Amino acid sequence: MGRFVRFFGEMTRKDFQEAGGKAANLGELTRGGFNVPQGFCLTSDALLHHVNENRLQEGIDAVASRFDYEDFGAMEEKTGTIREMISGAPIPADLLDEIRMALCELNSPESTFVAVRSSVAVKGSSISSFPGMMDTYHYLKGEEEIIEHIKKCWASLWTSRATMNRHHKNIDHKLGLIAPIVQKMVDSEVAGVLFTANPITSIRKEMVVEANWGLGESVVSGKSMNDFYVIEKEPLRLKDSRISKKTLMICFDEERGLGRREMAVSPDKMDAPTLSEEQALELGETGLKIESLFGAPQDIEWAYERGVLYILQSRNIRTLTESGQ
């Protein structure tokens, strides 16, 4: 679209250095015909432009040079200082114009809820994800709110957990790339993750689904008890299902009118299955197609809204062993 904005349909998986792994894969999925909520990303150059135009780099370098990786409290304070530098600075006018145009094309920012999510990579390397390291924001509405959270998403490149993770992996902080995603919000009744190979046994002939009521954030974060489904690939069939007593879910914060909140699952849903057999098999069929698209077993985030399946993310499973073949 412009210098700093790319809609999903304009990207492929090869664009991960520009768009981060999550956005690049969403581009690939969109172009492959999968039901991905509409959205765009700010390319990795956008944060560099923001930092340069606001002359933040010298200050960031000065704080980073005093990091003591053995002192967690001090690390939280110092990385917090860097986050405040980034989120407190005004977005350059040319970049702001592109964001506003993209929001209008996506839909009126005053009438549509969106999520702002991080998409990351490491410059000059094949690394294209840091699961759980950066921040995601749900149910945002209005130009001011969305732009504020784009800056917070940039700043999350410098959370203490992300900073420590780069340090332990011997990755220079200046090589970390982040490309915030702005995407139409899926107000899901049920959501979760789908692995197109069994992540526990590494068996490639099985797929595994974990599901909970509300947003999939409860599943991804490990905060909830989830229903567990095993799907056999050939022939495609539901092999096993284990229905948990679900007590916690994450959903729209109706009191604030934006954002998400944790809440208790209603008694009538605690022991009820989150997925029908038909939905489990739809997930399995979709998972097989996505695995074929990427040519490797996938870790897929999905959501059902009003019975319609949406794909929110897909990445390679990196924890499989050869013994599960």
The model's pLDDT over 238-287, given as tens digits with 9 standing for 90+, comes to: 999 999 999 999 999 988 888 899 999 999 999 999 999 999 999 999 99
Same domain, 194 and 128: no
Q: Find the range with the poorest average confidence among 12-21, 107-116, 189-198, 303-312.
A: 107-116
**pLDDT given at position 115:** 95
0.85 surpassed by pTM? yes
**pLDDT given at position 307:** 96
Same domain, 133 and 209: no
Q: Is the pLDDT of residue 68 over 60?
A: yes
Query: Could you tell me how far CA 188 lies from the centroid of its own chain?
Result: 15
The arithmetic mean of pLDDT across residues 201-223, rounded, is 94
Q: Does an H or E element contain 103, and which?
A: helix 93-106
**pLDDT given at position 265:** 96
Helix 44-53 / helix 93-106 crossing angle, nearest 10 deg = 140
Where does a domain end: 155, 184, 213? Answer: 184
Q: How many CA atoms lie within 13 A of 135 on its CB side?
A: 17
Same domain, 12 and 66: yes
Same domain, 34 and 170: yes
Same domain, 42 and 68: yes
- Do residues 172 and 293 lie in contact, with contact meaning Cβ atoms separated by under 8 Å? no
Instruction: State the pLDDT confidence band at 289, using cuts at 50, 70 and 90.
Output: very high
The arithmetic mean of pLDDT across residues 299-304, rounded, is 97
The arithmetic mean of pLDDT across residues 285-290, rounded, is 98
The arithmetic mean of pLDDT across residues 63-67, rounded, is 95
**pLDDT given at position 97:** 96
**pLDDT given at position 241:** 97
> pLDDT digits over 6-62, tens only?
999 999 999 988 999 999 999 999 999 999 999 999 999 999 999 999 999 999 999
> pLDDT digits over 130-140, tens only?
655 567 899 99
The arithmetic mean of pLDDT across residues 113-120, rounded, is 93
Instruction: State the pLDDT confidence band at 2, using cuts at 50, 70 and 90.
Output: confident
Could you give the CA distance from residue 114 to residue 184 in angstroms, rounded to a whole number?
4
Comparing CA positions, the residue from 201, 223, 196 lying closest to residue 212 is: 223
Where does a domain end: 167, 184, 201? Answer: 184
Share of the chain above pLDDT 70, in %: 94
**pLDDT given at position 124:** 77
Same domain, 167 and 279: no
What's the mean per-residue pLDDT of the chain?
92
Q: Is the pLDDT of residue 217 over 70?
A: yes
Instruction: State the pLDDT confidence band at 112, using cuts at 50, 70 and 90.
Output: confident
Where does a domain end: 122, 153, 184? Answer: 184
Structural domain for 240, as ranges: 190-324
Q: Is the pLDDT of residue 210 over 90?
A: yes
**pLDDT given at position 128:** 52
Same domain, 88 and 217: no
Locus of tokens 């899926």: 186
Task: Please tell me the total count of domains within the chain.
Answer: 2
SS3 204: coil
Q: Is the pLDDT of residue 324 over 60?
A: no
Looking at per-residue pLDDT, the higher value among 201 and 274 belongs to 274
Same domain, 177 and 194: no
Contacts of 153 (CB under 8 A, 6+ apart): 116, 117, 118, 134, 135, 137, 178, 180
Q: Which CATH number is 15's domain given? A: 3.30.1490.20
Same domain, 180 and 200: no
Same domain, 172 and 198: no
**pLDDT given at position 122:** 87
Q: Which CATH number is 275's domain given? A: 3.30.470.20
Q: Is the pLDDT of residue 142 over 70?
A: yes
Region of 201 on the Ramachandran plot (φ > 0 left; ψ -120 to 50 alpha; else beta):
alpha
Same domain, 36 and 96: yes
Same domain, 165 and 212: no
Could you give the CA distance from residue 19 to residue 295 in angstroms, rounded to a whole number?
20
- The DSSP line for 257-281 is TSSEEEEEPPHHHHSS-SS-HHHHH
- In whole angstroms, how far apart are CA 18 and each of 31, 38, 124, 128, 190? 17, 19, 11, 11, 32
